[in-house]
Structure 1
Amino acid sequence: MSSLFPHALPLAAAAPSTPLGPFEDSAVTWTTWVTLMGFVGLTALALVSVGPVARRIGPDTLGAVTARLSRVAVVLGVLAGPAVLTDLAHGASDSGGYDYGAAWNSLYDGSNGGRLLGLEVTLVLVGAALVAPLTVRKVAAGPARAWLLGAGLGAGSVALGTTKFPDAVPDDWGRTSFETVMWMLHLIGGSLWLGGLAGLALLALRGAVAPADRGEFWAPVIRRFSVAAMSCVAAISLSGLFLYWEHVDGPSQLFTTMYGRVLGVKILIFGALLLLGAFNQFWLHPRVDALRATGDERPLRTILVRDFPVVITVEALLGMTVLFVAPFLHGSARNQAFQASAAKHSAVSLDDLPKIPAKEVSASTWVWGTSETLAVIAVMIVGYWASGVLARRRTAAATAVTTTDPGDLITA
Structure 2
Amino acid sequence: MFVAGSLPHTAPISAAAVPSTPLGPFEDSAIAWTTWATLMGFAGLVALALMLGPPARRIGPGTLAATTARLARLARAAALLGALAVPAALTDLAHDASEGGGFDYGQAWNSLYDGSNTGRLYGLEVTLSLAGAALIAPLGLRAVASGRARRWLLGGGLAAGVVALGTTKFPDEVPDEWGRTSIETAAWMLHLLGGSVWLGGLAGLLLLALPGAIAQPDRGSFWYPAIRRFSAAAMTCVAAIALSGLFLYWEHVDGPTQLFTTMYGRVLGVKILIFGTLLLLGSVNQFWLHPRIDALRAAGDDRPLRTILTRRFPALVAVEVLLGLTVLMVAPFLHGSARNQAFQAHLARHATTATTTLPKIPMKQVSASTWIYGSIETVAVVVIMIAGYQASGRIARRRAASATAPAGDTGAVLPAG
| TM score, norm. by length of structure 2 | 0.93
Residue 316 of structure 1 corresponds to 321
1:135 paired with 2:140, answer yes
CA contact (8 A) 2:268 2:334 kept: yes
- How do 1:42-53 and structure 2 match up within 5 A? 42-48=45-51, 50-53=52-55
Residue 93 of structure 1 corresponds to 98
**Displacement of 1:303 after TM fit?**
3.9
CA contact (8 A) 2:44 2:197 kept: yes
**What is the letter of the counterpart of residue 267 of structure 1?**
I
Residue 165 of structure 1 corresponds to 170
1:377 paired with 2:388, answer no
Tell me whether 29-38 or 97-106 shows the greater mean CA deviation.
Answer: 97-106
CA contact (8 A) 1:296 1:406 kept: no
1:394 paired with 2:399, answer yes
Q: 1:40 to 1:308 in 2, by over 3 A?
A: same
Residue 32 of structure 1 corresponds to 35
CA contact (8 A) 1:80 1:124 kept: yes
Q: Secondary structure at the match of 1:130?
A: helix
d(CA) in 2 for partners of 1:301, 1:124: 40
**Displacement of 1:145 after TM fit?**
1.1
Residue 55 of structure 1 corresponds to 57
Q: 1:341 to 1:248 in 2, by over 3 A?
A: same
- Indicate which of 246, 251, 259 corresponds to 1:254: 259
1:202 paired with 2:207, answer yes
Q: Which runs of 5+ in 1 are unaligned?
A: 1-9
**Displacement of 1:348 after TM fit?**
4.8
How many equivalent pairs are there? 401
d(CA) in 1 for partners of 2:288, 2:409: 24
Residue 7 of structure 1 corresponds to none
Higher RCO (C-alpha 8 Å, min separation 6): 2
- Indicate which of 9, 19, 22 corresponds to 2:22: 19
- Indicate which of 205, 221, 226 corresponds to 1:221: 226
1:241 paired with 2:242, answer no
d(CA) in 1 for partners of 2:369, 2:340: 22
Residue 328 of structure 1 corresponds to 333
CA contact (8 A) 1:299 1:407 kept: no
Q: Secondary structure at the match of 1:400?
A: coil
Moved over 6 A (4+): 403-408
**What is the letter of the counterpart of residue 365 of structure 1?**
T
Tell me whether 142-151 or 251-260 shows the greater mean CA deviation.
Answer: 142-151
Residue 359 of structure 1 corresponds to 364
- How do 1:149-160 and structure 2 match up within 5 A? 149-160=154-165
Residues 353-390 of structure 1: per-residue CA shift (max 9 Å, x gap): 10001000000000000000000001101101111111
CA contact (8 A) 2:48 2:204 kept: yes
**Displacement of 1:11 after TM fit?**
7.5
CA contact (8 A) 1:282 1:387 kept: yes
d(CA) in 2 for partners of 1:71, 1:243: 35
d(CA) in 1 for partners of 2:287, 2:339: 38
d(CA) in 2 for partners of 1:273, 1:174: 33
Residue 83 of structure 2 corresponds to 78
- How do 1:289-300 and structure 2 match up within 5 A? 289-299=294-304
| TM score, norm. by length of structure 1 | 0.94
d(CA) in 2 for partners of 1:170, 1:11: 31
**What is the letter of the counterpart of residue 32 of structure 2?**
T
d(CA) in 1 for partners of 2:66, 2:412: 27
d(CA) in 2 for partners of 1:301, 1:61: 22
d(CA) in 2 for partners of 1:132, 1:20: 38
Q: 1:237 to 1:11 in 2, by over 3 A?
A: closer
Task: Say what the alpha-carbon RMSD is for the aligned residues.
Answer: 1.9
**What is the letter of the counterpart of residue 167 of structure 2?**
T
Q: 1:363 to 1:408 in 2, by over 3 A?
A: closer
**Displacement of 1:147 after TM fit?**
1.0
d(CA) in 2 for partners of 1:38, 1:46: 12
Q: Secondary structure at the match of 1:175?
A: helix
Residues 186-218 of structure 1: per-residue CA shift (max 9 Å, x gap): 000000000000000000001110011100011
CA contact (8 A) 2:50 2:151 kept: yes
d(CA) in 2 for partners of 1:110, 1:63: 43
**What is the letter of the counterpart of residue 69 of structure 1?**
L
**Displacement of 1:272 after TM fit?**
0.1
**Displacement of 1:138 after TM fit?**
1.9
Q: Secondary structure at the match of 2:388?
A: helix
CA contact (8 A) 1:61 1:209 kept: yes
Q: Which runs of 5+ in 2 are unaligned?
A: 1-12
CA contact (8 A) 2:40 2:165 kept: yes
Q: Secondary structure at the match of 1:164?
A: coil
Q: 1:107 to 1:11 in 2, by over 3 A?
A: closer
d(CA) in 1 for partners of 2:414, 2:301: 9
d(CA) in 2 for partners of 1:19, 1:224: 43
- Indicate which of 185, 188, 209 corresponds to 2:193: 188
